[in-house]
Structure 1
């Protein structure tokens, strides 16, 4: 009996010292991606040593802009989050360290056209405020705290949003960097070049008109790491909606951004 009590005491101490979440942590496994995509294979070490802070727009009590598609609502925060998860997975597959600033414990990477809205999203586990300034400050403070702990020489923030304009206004993905940010501009330009090359290859007669410009946005102005901000389309426009609702298109966005980041990282080593 005494032996049994000692064993139980030892087991309790083990569980306290090593929480269940830590015990179940697996290599090349990220629960945020959902059951289908949680496990991922490494494809290279091309981004080894790089650290990324990925933030999807809005979330929690704020769905962002809302569009209509075949009688259903499209919510900005859900599509931005899905693209961010896909991008993060591609960066991890290339050996990077990735922080997901906005998280949803239930919604992983989803392949449906209509991504149902929820208010579960948190900022690293903390409730997201409805007030815009408080919301933006919360995520900037959170990623800056992480950045101060990371020792990498190459740290980048990527923010993904969906724009809202008149229904007839079709837009290509466009990019912002902080005014005066040399490296933010360099990364934004690299993503722009990569997108243009992909469109020239896959849709040679279409062209690509996505722009790069400096803009004094709160998250660009208040983050310590170099940051870029992407608007991936007009949620009201029927053609832009295909960029959002088709899962393969969301994956293509993630793939192309990751490819551009690889190129930018190589430049940083020269």
Structure 2
């Protein structure tokens, strides 16, 4: 009887152990409040993304001033990258976060406190610019060689710094001669323009798409798009960063553009087969 009871207790514990080990739809980088996420569609099933927020570690990137406090580029780029990654995962994509912070998940505050904890997938980020950029390209390329998806994209997110009076829309770069990088950038740009036409019909959207010979666009093997989200010195552009709902809107709109690009690529592939 004693052994039967022991066996029953052991069997009763099995589901709990299995449940604890199974953490589907869970990403701790998002922070406790948003680590769990629902999969709402399969619109990006089979895709792979390498998400890179600019700067990090010892380099905060450009710095703006807002209500007497500092805004650091790397913190806002990272928060938006996390939000973007979560939206992509919710649509069935596979996502690799190249820059990571074990403590800072998705945050709702206006002013995001700066830290130097960010790593490149666990490795310390060097201060030297060339070494820093090469490190993240190496990380992307190393994973890229192992992934078998036919749709693999790298997304780089930064925040620009210009004169305070210079208001800018989100603008996009792709590698010189990259047909598919240009197509993706144009899809996202079109999504932003449509959103502005809907929500701010009298404003317009002037974000541009152009090719640029940036280090990461040259050295990263996957098709890539590099985004500048605004001028961190400009009071109007700062609203795009400090308001958490606006950071989420940026992630949502980028996601919509990516979905449109992927669905278009599937149609093109299908028509070629016919």
Query: Structures share a fold, TM > 0.5?
Result: yes
1: CA distance, partners of 2:235 / 2:249: 18
Question: In the alignment, which residue of structure 1 is the partner of 2:122?
Answer: 125
Is 1:213 the equivalent of 2:210? yes
Q: Deviations over 1:184-209 (max 9, x none)?
A: 00000000000000000000000000
Name the counterpart of 1:89: 86
Q: Distance in 1 between matches of 2:259 and 2:189?
A: 14
Normalising by the residue count of structure 2, what TM-score does the alignment of the two structures yield?
0.90
Question: What does the per-residue CA deviation read over 1:99-131, in whole Å, with 9 as the maximum and x for residues that have no partner?
Answer: 000000000000000000000000000000000
Q: Secondary structure at the match of 2:145?
A: helix
In structure 1, which of residues 35, 40, 43 is the aligned counterpart of residue 37 of structure 2?
40
Tell me what 1:269 maps to: 266
Structure 1 residue ranges without an equivalent (≥5):
1-22
2:231 to 230, 234, 237: 234
Equivalent position of 1:106 in the other structure: 103
CA distance in 2, matches of 1:24, 1:88: 23
Cα distance between partner residues in 1 of 2:22 and 2:70: 36
Give the CA RMSD over aligned residues: 0.7
1:268 Cα deviation (Å)? 1.2
For each residue in 1:112-166, what CA deviation from the matched residue of structure 2 results, as whole angstroms up to 9, or x when unmatched? 0000000000000000000000000000000100000000000000000000000
CA distance in structure 1 between the partners assigned to 2:31 and 2:21 by the alignment: 15
Give the structure 2 partner of residue 204 of structure 1: 201
For 1:206 and 1:154, how far apart are their aligned partners in 2?
A: 34
The question of 1:186 aligning with 2:177 is answered: no
**1:144 correspondence with 2:141:** yes
Does residue 1:250 correspond to 2:247, yes or no?
A: yes
SS in 1 for 2:227: strand
Q: Which residue of 2 aligns with 1:169?
A: 166
**Which secondary structure state, in structure 2, belongs to the residue aligned with residue 36 of structure 1?**
coil
**Partner in structure 1 of residue 153 of structure 2:** 156
Once residues 95 and 158 of structure 2 are traced to their aligned partners in structure 1, the CA distance between those partners, rounded to angstroms, is 19
3-state secondary structure, aligned to 1:269: helix
Aligned length: 248
Cα distance, 1:24 vs structure 2: 4.4
- Report the Cα offset of residue 267 of structure 1: 1.2
